[in-house]
A and B are shown apart, each in its own frame.
Chain A
Amino acid sequence: MKESILAVRRAIDELDIDGIGALAVKCLEEGLSPEEIIQEGISKGLEIVGRKFEEGEYFLADLIMAGEVVKEAMPILKERMNPGGRGKGTVILATVAGDIHEIGKNIVGMILSANGFEVIDLGVDVPAQRILDTAKSSGARFIGLSALLTTMVESIREVVSAAGAAGLRDRVKIVIGGACTSMELCKEMGADAYGETAIDALRIFNDYAAGA
C-alpha cells in the first residue's frame, strides 16, 4: 500500500479538512486511480471513523466532519473518475410527507455517497407517489425514509403500501430511520429494516448491495 493512500486514510480518520485536497492530488500524481483512492483511502478511512463512532470515541459531529472532509476530496477525484464507478446501487432518500426534518437524512446521504452509492435525495415533505415515481424512473433498489415526528409515521406506511400496490416490493428494499422510528415501528409499517444511526444505515445498505 502506497504511503500517499495511507495518508488519505489517516486524513479522513483525523478529520483533516485542510489537508485532504493536497493528499488526493498527490495520490493522482503518483498514478493511483480515483476508484483506488476512494476504495483504499476514503472508504477505509470512513470505516475507521465509523468504528470509532460505534465505540464512542467519535461523536455525531465527527461523522459530519468526516463527510465534509470527503466532500473536499470528491470534486478532485470526480474529475478523473470513470462514470460507471459508483457501483453499489442507487438509494432514494426522503423525509416523509408532513415532516420537514432533514439533518439525519442528510448525514445518511453524505455517508452513503462517500461509500459508493448513488444517492437521489428528494428532500423533505415528500409524497409517497413521488418517491415511487423516482424509484421506477431511476431503477433504484433502495429507499431510505426519514421521519422525526410521531404524527407523521403513517406516511411511512403509505410509501410501503404504495410500493406494494405498484408491484415494487420484490425489487425495492425500504429502510427507515429518524427520531420517532424504531424496530417495532419498522415491523408495524412493513418496512424492511430500521437504522438507528447513519452507520447502521450504511451497514444495512451495504448488506443489501452485497446481496446479503
Chain B
Amino acid sequence: MHPIDRALNALDGKPTDRVPTFCAMVEDRTFNEILGKPPISQEWLMTNPAARFVLDRWGPKLTRPLFQPEVTRAMEKRIRAQVELGFDSVWAILDETFTVLDHATMVRFTGSVFNIQPDGYGNMTYMYRGPGFRSREDFESWPYWPDVDDLAHRTYTFFRKMVSRYGNRACLFGQGPAYGIQESLLWAVGFEKMPVWIRREKDLVKRYIDLNEEICLKTNMALLDAGVPVILQTDDFAFKSGPLMNPRLIDELFGAPYRRIIKAVHDRGGKYVLHSCGDNTLLFDTFISWGVDGLHAYENTSNVDIFREKKLHGDKVTIVGGVGVDYLLTDRSKDEEVVDTAPRTRRWWTRSNGSSGSSAPAAGSSSPPCTA
C-alpha cells in the first residue's frame, strides 16, 4: 500500500496493510543531524556581534528579505528529513508569522512576543515571552497584522514546491502560517489575562477570533489548492490537568469558526486533523462535533487513555500520536533504553490498535535530539 493511501485510509477509518506512521519533527537539531549539519551554524549567524548590531538596528526591515527565507529553508529541510526517514505521513509547516524586532526578540503577527535564542546545539529556536496585547489600545494599534491574501499566496507557492518534491513519497499534513485560534488568543493576551479578556472585552475577542478564522481559512484553502491532502491545525486546548476552559465555553467561543473552517476543507476534498496537547479527554465529543477527521498528539504526559478513547470514539475520529519520544529520545536516554523501548512501543501500539484504520502512532509535539 502506498504511504499516502495508508495515511488517508486511516483518516477515513478504512483498513490498512499496517498501522501508518506520522512524524511530528519540529526540532532544528534533529533534522540537521539527519540531513548533515549546515556548514555555518544558524546560532553563529544570529549571535555574532555584527549580526546583533544589524538585527538590533534593522530587524523589522530585514525580516522579509533575509530572516524569513532562512526560516523557510529550515521548514523545507524539516519536511525533507521526515520524508527521508521513511514515515508514511509528515508534518509540513510554513511558519511565516514572525517579524524580528532585535537580535533577541520577534513578534508573531497575531499579537505575541517571543525570545529568539540558541538551542545549545548550533541552531536557533524561539520561546514564548509574553503577550503583545496588554490593553485595548495595544490591540487597536498592533502594526503587524498580515495581508491575508498575500499570506495565502505565499503559502500556495511554498506548498506547491513541497508537493512537487515530496508529495508523492509521503502524505503531507500541512500547516500554513496560521496557528490555532484559541492558542493565538491565549498567547496574544497572556494566559493569566485571557479569562478576563473573555469576560470584559467580548467585542475585541470576537474581532480577534474573526481575524484568525480568516487567516486559517485562506491559508488552508491555499494548502489544498497546492495539493496538500491533509490540514493539520495546532491549537492546544488543554494542559496535563485537563482543558484550559470549560468545554461548553470552548465550543461557544471557537466552535462556530472551526466548524466553518473544517467544512470548507471537506468541501475542497481535504482532511482535517487537530493537534491539541494535554489532557483532551473531555474535549473529544466537542472536537468530533466540529467535524475533525483526526486528533493528534497524546504525548505520554497528556493523561489521555488513547486506547479507551479509541474504543469510545474510534468510529468517528482517527487518533494520531501516543508515542513518548519526549522521554525516550533525549540526551538523558541511554542507547540500550532506546533499543529496548522502540520495538516494545511498536508491538504495544500494534497489539492495541491493529491495522483496522483510525489510528496512527506518532510522536507528540516534537522529536527531541534523536539518537536513533
A interface with B by C-beta (< 8 Å):
15, 17-18, 56, 58-62, 64-65, 67-68, 100-101, 103-104, 106-107, 110, 150-151, 153-154, 179-180, 182, 196-197
Query: B127 touching A65 by the CB < 8 A rule?
Result: no
Q: How far is the CB of B359 from chain A (nearest CB, A)?
A: 24
Q: Which of B153-161, B168-176, B187-195 has 4 or more CB atoms under 8 Å from chain A?
A: B187-195
Q: Which of B64-72, B206-214, B222-230, B235-243 has 4 or more CB atoms under 8 Å from chain A?
A: B235-243
B330 at the interface (CB under 8 A from A): yes
**Chain A residues with Cβ under 8 A from B326's Cβ?**
150, 180
**Chain B residues with Cβ under 8 A from A64's Cβ?**
191-192, 194-195
Query: B241 touching A151 by the CB < 8 A rule?
Result: no
- Given contacts A100-B127, A150-B327, A150-B330, whether A68 and B243 have CB atoms under 8 Å apart is no
Q: How far is the CB of A93 from chain B (nearest CB, A)?
A: 14
B322 at the interface (CB under 8 A from A): no
A-B pairs, top 3 by smallest CB distance, nearest first, are A65-B195, A61-B245, A103-B191
Q: What are 15 of the A-B contact pairs (CB < 8 Å)?
A: A17-B196, A61-B195, A61-B245, A62-B245, A64-B191, A64-B194, A65-B196, A67-B192, A68-B196, A100-B127, A100-B128, A101-B128, A106-B192, A153-B332, A154-B332
Q: How far is the CB of B237 from chain A (nearest CB, A)?
A: 10
Query: B245 touching A151 by the CB < 8 A rule?
Result: no
> How many Å lie between the Cα of A104 and that of B244 in the bound state?
12
> How many Å lie between the Cα of A100 and that of B115 in the bound state?
10
> How many Å lie between the Cα of A59 and that of B237 in the bound state?
12
The prevalent SS among residues of B at the interface is mixed
Residue of A nearest to B238 (CB): A60
Query: B330 touching A62 by the CB < 8 A rule?
Result: no
Query: A59 touching B192 by the CB < 8 A rule?
Result: no
Residue of B nearest to A58 (CB): B246
Query: B239 touching A179 by the CB < 8 A rule?
Result: yes
**Chain A residues with Cβ under 8 A from B321's Cβ?**
none
Q: How far is the CB of B236 from chain A (nearest CB, A)?
A: 11
Query: B244 touching A151 by the CB < 8 A rule?
Result: no
- Given contacts A150-B326, A150-B327, A151-B330, whether A61 and B241 have CB atoms under 8 Å apart is no
Which positions 253-277 of chain B face chain A at CB distance < 8 Å? Answer: none
> Could you say which of B127, B246, B327, B332 contacts A62, with CB atoms under 8 Å apart?
B246
> How many Å lie between the Cα of A104 and that of B115 in the bound state?
19
- Given contacts A17-B196, A68-B195, A68-B196, whether A60 and B115 have CB atoms under 8 Å apart is no
**Chain B residues with Cβ under 8 A from A154's Cβ?**
332
Query: B246 touching A179 by the CB < 8 A rule?
Result: no
Q: How far is the CB of B189 from chain A (nearest CB, A)?
A: 12
Query: B199 touching A65 by the CB < 8 A rule?
Result: yes
**Chain B residues with Cβ under 8 A from A103's Cβ?**
191-192
**Chain B residues with Cβ under 8 A from A101's Cβ?**
127-128
